[in-house]
Structure 1
Amino acid sequence: MKRARRLVELLWTQPDYIFGRFLMVRRLYSASRRLVSAPLAGSLRISRIYSPETEPIVIAASDLVISDKTVDAHCASLQKTAWSDRIGLSAAAVSALTETARTTRLLFKSSGDTVEYAPSLEALSLERRKSAALAQVADGWQDATLQAIAGDPAIVSVVSKYLGYIPDRASVFFFWSFANTLSREERIARNQTVDFHYDVDGYNFVYVSFYLVDVDRNGGAHALIERTHKSKRLGHLLGTSCLSDAEAEAEFGAASIITVEAPAGSGFFEDTSCYHKALVPTHRDRLMLQIRYQ
């Protein structure tokens, strides 16, 4: 009865959270968006993730984004496996973003969505580092370098072709993941997604993510299960969006689980309706930039 009431509530208040799980709904949504005139240059709006506050950015070439893969090749990989690598940032972009992440205000969210701030990473006490899983660069979405990256056609062309329409919203998640001794349960309580799950961020969406430090499996690498953006069973779609490691391996096989280890500046596109998670950083902090397009 409780589950039924929750379902009715979601259907009334967040229908996209229910229907956005289904591939056919996403395709119909894309088709409907294509019927609308393409946005004018500069109408792409940027915000911090899950924030109503936005501002316009220009879609224009920069020298900050690097890719040796064509738009068609990226989209083919996304369609087939749910992700595509060989997109990256210049050394200048990595340096500028790292400086912003170290010297500007940080935002912490704990269970119950309690929000706290710290002046900067450099001002963060050792005790706060030990008790935190994540810290967002609070105003990073307003950073000029980040906005230039978000509007670069090397990215926007790929996400537009994959979504089937030119997106009008870019939401920024720019954050530190701290290496400490927090348990899995403590990290989950602090909003770190260390279990396999899939996103339902509206009716359609795609991410581009960049490591801003060297990342390996001991440094909080991203993991994903290939092809699960299209291959979920009905029980996966109607039930919880989460899977344990054992369930993921039993259902999809160990060979389908990809751990993305790469140097600073490396990036990848991802349809996060696939199962994915963050590995727990144990040896070093991770700094990551994610931009969601819708």
Structure 2
Amino acid sequence: MTLVADLPKPVPNPLAGLKLKFSGALPLLLPVSIIALWQLAASAGWISNRLMPAPVDVVLAFWDRTVSGELAVDVLASGQRAISGLLVGGSIGFLLGLANGTSKLSFSLTDTTLQMIRTVPNLALIPLVILWFGIGEEAKLFLTALGVFFPIYLNTLHGVRTVDPQLIEMGRVYGMSGWTLFRKVIFPGALPSIFVGLRFSLGIMWLTLIVAETMAASSGIGHMANSAREFMMTDVVVLALVIYALLGKLADATARFLERRTLQWHPAFQTPEKG
């Protein structure tokens, strides 16, 4: 009879660690390859430096702006505007989505009007916004908040309305009603859709902000790009685009981190156990 202790131990796979490291570096493969080809094309003269500066020139522009302190001021100004717009527009959209998702009266009163406003392009409102608020910070806050509002509103409304009816019925069987049912069943069931709206709104947030910052702003990444355009400083313009991309990626990564931490109970966000 063979005892369990006599069974051969599994031999560790030496390639397992290599595969893990490769999977971690895989997302960087495409951007690094694009930058390398970009630098090669610029060095070989295939791309005019006036049209598209080499990555090295963009890095030098980044260093110059960092040393002078201008970059920190612009990034901080844009970050404050973006966060303010997200808090204002996101909060209103979230609350209206919850209200319209749980109340038929609220939905009937407000949803039709909101859907009509949603079809109007945000940037088409710029002349009217300037008449309302001038060219100060209020106009930038309004445009950013409006851009953030609708993705969060629609996804919150969709999330609340698509919660499994059987879960709601089960909660009622266990004696839940009102606030308890909403807190323990409806809201957790709507969270995946709410996070989708948050991630989508973060992209709209930066898209709206870069246009809003061209309205006579004295600071911000959009102002930096607009000023560089006037002086044909393409390296600074490309630097501004890269910074927007990095900030957008950082915001999305933060939302995904919160999503994973908040939805650990959800099967789609659980890490499979290693055998």
Q: TM-score range by the shorter chain?
A: under 0.3
Which structure exhibits the higher relative contact order, with contacts defined as CA atoms closer than 8 Å and separated by 6 or more residues?
Answer: 1
The TM-score normalised by the length of structure 2 is 0.23
Query: Larger strand proportion, structure 1 or 2?
Result: 1
Higher helix share: 2
